[in-house]
């Protein structure tokens, strides 16, 4: 929506978190004009971006004004309400991904309904408004079951594994009081969690990354191994094909992350995110084109870059805040001990359990890489003296 004669497009990202910060970093290399709509000047991306608009990154007035000042707008989270997205599109703002795609990343009930229509392998599930819905479902699926808030959850906030009707009652009552729509899913007996990233441009070009293994604890991603070790070829291809089909069917532009469960004989869709994703941070060093550059290429309708890997394995470990806020002081030891470890720090205030950075290491032996990445992350976190 900016003046026509600009040669370098203006890309705006709604949300000032670490995903924006790392997209900005990729935007520098591409030489695009990148700015963020951040809620606070101390947001991770606002600390480093040249172009920062401070405002409500979920509110109509600020998102609309931001869209008017940019050629294309994309997102580092899925929390902009649908009526805001609609108003921006109706006013001529270019959203990538668009509202029609984002709806499925914003609402797990809609996502599950759409996955069923597409025939994508999914856990058994149903929408829930009463305790009887949960107990009825559990009679067939067996306890425990997984209750989820359809909207607004992240990092495991909004996911409850409940073992009996008493536990379910607590969740259902709270959700009803707070008017949060719920769904129930069977608890999938998975061997591990996987994720796959695919980028899709408005032209319809797609580029798919190798399937990765993600290690989640308490609903938070702790580690990623790329590619997933010993994943049978047929499952890997199926996961990649599934991601491509979902991106096409939902008309996604930008990066789509599909979280999956690996079961004995299949892969099962857990969740979708339509933005760069924690499970793709490994690609900064580990792939020819990082997920952040790829996201920018895709939203700008540029040809996509190669998703090929740079090493047999890349391991990423998240750095979660510990008791020691002085993370930088700990660089000395980590960097001296293992010069191949790459440290990423998001500039956020350190709070226990908060994602404040990650480390990446590449090589041939994923077990060795995992040990080194864990060691670096735990030292930076302050768990070792
Ligand atoms: N149906 C399920 N069966 C077993 N585990 C599940 C199920 N759904 C979610 N989980 C666990 O909870 C985590 C968070 O659930 P998810 O739906 O991805 O929520 P979030 O939006 O918080 O990422 C998953 O990564 C997985 O470890
Ligand atoms: Mg998830």
214 alpha carbon – ligand 1 mean position (Å): 12
pLDDT of residue 13: 98
CA 120 to chain centre: 20
* Positions at the binding site for ATP: 108, 148, 185-188, 193, 270-271
pLDDT of residue 215: 97
Cα 232 to Cα 124, 211, 237, 264: the distances in Å are 24, 11, 9, 11
pLDDT of residue 385: 77
Helix (H, G, I), strand (E, B) or coil at 187: coil
- Provide CATH 3.30.1490.20 ranges for the chain: 124-186
Atom 22 of ligand 1, nearest CA residue: 156
pLDDT of residue 1: 47
Output the six-digit token pair for 125: 């599930």
By CB atoms closer than 10 A (0-12, 13-18, 19+), residue 238 is: middle
For 54-78, the pLDDT digits (tens) are: 999 999 999 999 999 999 999 999 9
For 353-369, the pLDDT digits (tens) are: 999 999 999 999 999 99
pLDDT of residue 379: 95
pLDDT of residue 3: 53
Q: Facing residues of 309 across strands?
A: 287
| Pick from 308, 170, 157, 128: nearest CA to 227 | 308
pLDDT of residue 4: 52
Residues with CB under 5 A from ligand 2 (ion): 259, 271
Q: Does domain 192-381 have CATH number 3.30.470.20?
A: yes
In testing the pocket of ligand 1, which one of 270, 277, 318, 353 has its CB within 8 Å of the most ligand atoms? 270
220 and 353 Cβ atoms separated by less than 8 Å: yes
In short, whether 249's Cβ falls inside 6 Å of ligand 1 is no
Task: Return the CATH number of the domain spanning residue range 3-95.
Answer: 3.40.50.20
289 and 310 Cβ atoms separated by less than 8 Å: no
pTM for the model: 0.97
Closest ligand 1 atom to 158 CA? 22
pLDDT of residue 7: 85
* CATH class label, 124-186: alpha beta
In testing the pocket of ligand 1, which one of 137, 217, 219 has its CB within 8 Å of the most ligand atoms? 219
Residue 329 DSSP symbol? G
- Provide CATH 3.30.470.20 ranges for the chain: 192-381
In short, whether 153's Cβ falls inside 6 Å of ligand 1 is yes
- Which ranges of the chain have pLDDT less than 70? 1-5
């Amino acid at each position: 929506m900016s003046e026509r004669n600009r040669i370098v497009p203006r890309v705006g990202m709604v949300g000032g978190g670490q995903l924006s910060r790392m997209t900005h970093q990729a935007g520098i290399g591409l030489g695009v004009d990148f700015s963020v709509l951040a809620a606070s000047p101390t947001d991770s991306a606002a600390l480093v971006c040249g172009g920062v608009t401070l405002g409500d990154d979920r509110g109509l007035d600020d998102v609309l004004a931001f869209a008017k000042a940019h050629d294309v707008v994309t997102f580092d989270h899925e929390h902009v309400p649908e009526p805001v997205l609609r108003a921006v599109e109706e006013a001529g703002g270019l959203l990538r991904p668009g509202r029609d795609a984002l709806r499925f990343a914003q609402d797990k009930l809609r996502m599950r309904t759409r996955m069923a229509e597409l025939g994508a392998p999914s856990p058994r599930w149903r929408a829930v408004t009463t305790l009887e819905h949960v107990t009825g479902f559990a009679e067939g699926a067996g306890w425990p079951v997984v209750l989820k808030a359809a909207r607004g959850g992240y990092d495991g906030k909004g996911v409850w594994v409940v073992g009996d009707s008493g536990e379910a009652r607590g969740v259902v009552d709270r959700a009803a009081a707070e008017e949060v729509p719920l769904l129930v899913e069977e608890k999938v007996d998975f061997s591990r969690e996987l994720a796959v990233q695919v980028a899709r441009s408005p032209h319809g070009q797609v580029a798919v990354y190798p399937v990765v293994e993600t290690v989640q604890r308490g609903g938070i991603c702790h580690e990623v191994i790329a590619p997933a070790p010993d994943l049978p070829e047929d499952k890997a291809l199926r996961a990649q094909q599934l991601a491509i089909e979902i991106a096409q069917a939902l008309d996604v532009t930008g990066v789509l992350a599909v979280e999956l469960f690996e079961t004995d004989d299949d892969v099962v869709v857990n969740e979708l995110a339509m933005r760069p994703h924690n499970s793709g941070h490994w690609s900064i060093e580990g792939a020819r084109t990082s997920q952040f550059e790829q996201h920018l290429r895709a939203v700008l309708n540029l040809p996509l870059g190669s998703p090929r890997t740079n090493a047999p394995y890349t391991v990423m470990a998240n750095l979660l805040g510990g008791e020691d806020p002085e993370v930088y002081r700990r660089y000395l030891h980590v960097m001296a001990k293992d010069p191949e470890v790459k440290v990423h720090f998001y500039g956020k205030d350190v709070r226990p359990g908060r994602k404040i950075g990650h480390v990446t290491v590449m090589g041939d032996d994923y077990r060795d890489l995992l040990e080194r990445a864990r060691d670096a992350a735990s030292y930076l976190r302050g768990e070792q003296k």
